[in-house]
Amino acid sequence: MSEENCDVLIVGGGPTGLLLAALLARRGGDVLVLERRTAPAEHSRAIGLHPPALAALRDVGLERAAVEAGAPIRCGRARSRGRELGEVRFARAWPGRPFVLALPQSRTEALLADRLAAVAPDALRRGWEVTGLRELGGGVEVTARRADGNGADEQPGDQATHATGNSTMAATVAATHEEAAVFRARVVVGADGARSTVRDLLGIDTTGVEHRDTYLMGDLADPDGAGEDRDAIIHLEPGGVVESFPLPGARRRWVVHSGRAGLPRRSPELLTALIQQRTGTRLDPTTTSMISPFTVRRRTARRLLTERCVLLGDAAHEVSPIGGQGITLGWLDVLDVAPLLQRAASDPRPLPEQAAWRRLARRWRRRTLVAGLLGHANTALGRPLPAPLAGLRTVAVGIALRTPLRHLMAWTYSMGWGLRI
């Protein structure tokens, strides 16, 4: 069994773990990343990078590359029954970055992995699955073994099956009998997603709520082509919301509320039929490159810190995909925690005993609460309604978008609040 030491060991090579690793490595930190997947992700769960996320990419020298690869969304428009209700523009809220960037998560991860390889070529270890964790005096010992290569990406639809995550993880570990290793670190960061193995091994429970709302999401060819300025469009229809967001390469992501009675079929034909029924837009189902049903839930870890471990990103706080806040929320965590991790590498005291870490945990909880409430509000706003109530919703949204309230909405939806909490 091989052994290796480092200052900071990050479990999880998704957007949160990779950004933290790149940031620490650029500052001279001794960091390793263990990622269960043996190959980069092919499909993208998330696409939204808000202005605070772009500021995080600037800190690792990737903002320009991300903007060139993505599709800037400068305006969000609301419609109902074929009528324009109004719009929100992000220029006033963010003069320096007047857009939300649509960039598939797979491309974001590729950019971060390349940057990490440039500054710390051996830091990312793919195909390693964590099987054990022990907190020792002033450090942590982590055991891991080679993954079997079947660690497929978790898709948005998997939110409905998270309850079985522990048994699935245990079965995978038990079935894998390959190369093993021990990693010793000053601090371990669990950035391994909503089904966090680190969180489970630390015995940390989660609390939260689950909604009955279900959605069907897919990426299709954009009928309007690949114009330079493409808007996000929200259709508030009696049958349920229909959202669409531009993607790079003349494509568009569609998200449709599909009811509250169980997940819909993973069917491009069903997706395009619902879109046409509610909005009149005809789409070609054969152009679908990704399709996934999903549910909505909010979960928060009961503890974010243990003696020498910290949870980040979805491992710490899972929020509704509606609103696309997940990546930006995790990256705000990263910007907060990176300086403390650098100091923790030479300070053996338990993290919860240090005032700076306690203040940080409280800040994360406040930020998570706001993100959760916004996700809940977005979910409620897009639910199916009887015609009279749907009409009242249309009137209310139309009035709000014709008043200065639209500027507050632009700031809120672009996560300006994340920097103030």
Mean pLDDT within 292-320: 95
Fold annotation for 74-98+211-296+383-419: D-Amino Acid Oxidase; Chain A, domain 2 (3.30.9)
25-34: pLDDT as tens digits = 999 999 999 9
Rounded-to-integer distance, Cα 390 and Cα 410, Å: 23
pLDDT value, residue 160:
37
pLDDT value, residue 166:
40
Residue pair 328/299 in contact (Cβ under 8 Å)? The answer is no
Q: Please tell me the class of the 2-62+104-209+297-375 domain.
A: alpha beta
pLDDT value, residue 229:
67
Rounded-to-integer distance, Cα 302 and Cα 281, Å: 44
pLDDT value, residue 78:
97
For residue 269, the tally of other CB atoms under 10 A from its CB is 11
Q: How many residues does the chain have?
A: 421
Query: Taking the complete model, does pTM exceed 0.75, yes or no?
Result: yes
Q: Which of 13, 61, 54 minimizes the C-alpha distance to 33?
A: 13
Domain borders along the chain are: 2-62+104-209+297-375, 74-98+211-296+383-419
pLDDT value, residue 339:
95
* Common-topology check for domains 2-62+104-209+297-375 and 74-98+211-296+383-419: no
Phi, psi values for residue 217, rounded to 5°? -125, 140
Q: Is 285 exposed, middle or buried (0-12, 13-18, 19+ CB in 10 A)?
A: middle
Rounded-to-integer distance, Cα 45 and Cα 41, Å: 10
> Mean pLDDT, the chain, as a whole number?
91
The answer to whether residue 104 scores a pLDDT higher than 80 is: yes
pLDDT value, residue 253:
96
Q: Which of 300, 285, 281, 273 minimizes the C-alpha distance to 219?
A: 285
Rounded-to-integer distance, Cα 198 and Cα 165, Å: 13
